[in-house]
Structure 1
Amino acid sequence: MPEADTPKADTPGTGTPGTETTYLRYVALGDSQTEGVGDGDDTTGLRGFADRLAEHLARHEPALQYANLAVRGRLAAQIHTEQLAPALALRPDVATVVAGVNDLLRPGFDADEVCTHLDAMFGALTEQGALVATITIPDLSRVCPVARPLIPRVTALNEGIRRTARRHGVVVAETALHPVAGDPRLWSPDRLHASPLGHERIAAALAQALRLPDSDDTWTHPLPPQTLPTGLRAVGTELRWLAGFLGPWLLRRLRGRSSGDGRSAKRPLLHPVLADRRPVTDG
C-alpha cells in the first residue's frame, strides 16, 4: 500500500504503520478467535484479542470507536459474505481480518480458496483507505498432537496469507514463527482457542506489527518453566479432552451443525472503548 501523507491530529488516519496517525474507527472481522472465545464466557462476556487491541488503541486515542463483527464457527467464505459489507459501511481506519482456521478443520480444505476470500476482504478494505492487519496461524499440533496431519494445511494457509497480504499492503503479525505459540498456557482447555494470556499475546503481536505506541516484542518471550503432567496424569488429561471437547466437536460436524448457529456479532456497531483494562499476568 502506498505511503500516506501524515494526517492532521484530528483527522482519521489511513496508510502506513508507524506514521503519526489517529485511528478513530477500528473494525474486527473473523471467527471465534476474533469474537474472543477462550477469554471470558458467554455469561460474563467475551474479551479476546480484538477487544484488547481496541483497548490499546483507545489508551492513545480516547475517541476511538470499535466494532467486532466476528462470529464463531464461520468459514472464510462466510466471513467474506456476511461481514465485509457491514465493515465497509462502518468505514474503519484500521481493521483486523483473521480467517481460515475453521476451513483448516474441514475435509475439503483448499488454501487457495480461503486466500481468494482473504484477497477480496483485504482489497476492499485497503482500497477504502483502512490499514488492515492479520496474523499467521500457529502449528496446532504443538498443543494438540492429534492435529499433526494438519501441518501441511497450516503451512499452505500461512504462505497464502503472507502472499495475499503483500499484494495489498496488509500488516502481518507473525504469531506462527515463535516457539511460545506452542505453550499450552496460551491455549484454552479445548486446545483450539487462545486462553486469556494467549489473546493478550495476539493483541500485543498485532500492536507491534502496527507499530503502535508502547508496543514491543515481549509477546515473543517464553513463559517461565512449567512442569507438565506425565504418566497416568497425562493420560487422564488426554481422556478428559477427548470426552469434553473433541467428541462434542465431531458430533456437531456429523450433524452438520456449527457452534455459531443462531449467533450474531457481539458488537455490530461502532461504540467507544473502555481503555483502562490491564493485561493478564504471564505464568
Structure 2
Amino acid sequence: MRTIFKSINSRKDKIYSHTSEYEFFAENYRLISKILSNYKLRSYDEKTFKIIQVNILIKAMINKSIIEDYVNKVSSFNKKELWDLLINKERPYFESEGSKIYVPIYSKGLNYIYYDTPHKLLGYPYDELKDDPSSSCIDLFDMYNLNLYNSSFTNLIKIKDDKTSSAFYHPEFETIYIINKQGRLDISIRLFDKYLKTREYQNFNDRLLEVITNFYNNDRSLFIKSLYVNKFISFKMYKKLLKKMTIKNIFKNKVGE
C-alpha cells in the first residue's frame, strides 16, 4: 500500500508549520544539541513524524534539567517535594514495568535514580550526566517503543492495536501513523486532501476506527473506499487512488504472465 499513500501525502500545504507541535519544536530544538548526534532519525520518514520524535527528546531533556536543577539547589533533599514539583509542572512520563519514566533517553535503571534516588546525581558517576548527557543515551524508540508514543510525551491518540504495530492519529497534523513495535514508522496517511472542500468531525473516532480496521484487514479496495465514505478524502482523490491501484494490479498481472 505504501505507493498508494504517496498520493495522499503529496499535499502541498505546509500544515505542520502552523501547529503548536511545530512551534514547540522550533522554539526548543537547541535543547537537544548535546544528544542529537546519538539519534539518526530516518531520512525517508514523514517530516511530521520526525518532529514528533524530536519533541519527545526535547521533553525528556526538559524533565532531566528540572530534576537536576532541583537536586542541585536544595540543601535537604525531599523525594515527595520533587514528585510534587513534576506533577505541578505537568511534566510528561509513562510507566514501564512499574517504574515511572520521566527521562526516556535513559535506561529504566537510570530513570529509577532520577525519580526515586535523585540525590545520587550529586555523586560520581551520575554527576557527569548533567554536562555530558549523551554518554548514557539509549535508543528510546526501540527500548520503550509503543509505550512512549502512547504517553504524554506526544499528542498522539491511539486508535487501534495490531499484532506488530499500533495506529495513532495526530489532530494537528491530521495524519494517521502506523508505528511498529520497534518504535519506527511503517506508514503515514494524511487525511483531508487539498481537494476536500469541508472537514467533517462528527463521530470522528468511530469513522477513523473503521478506516484503520480495513487497513489492518489488508483490504486495499475497502480501505480506500472507507477513506472516502467516511469523508477523510475527496472524491477526486478517491478516484485517483482507485486508478493507481488498478494500474498497479494490471502491471502485477502482466509481470506474472
For normalisation by structure 1, the TM-score amounts to 0.24
Larger radius of gyration: 2
For normalisation by structure 2, the TM-score amounts to 0.26
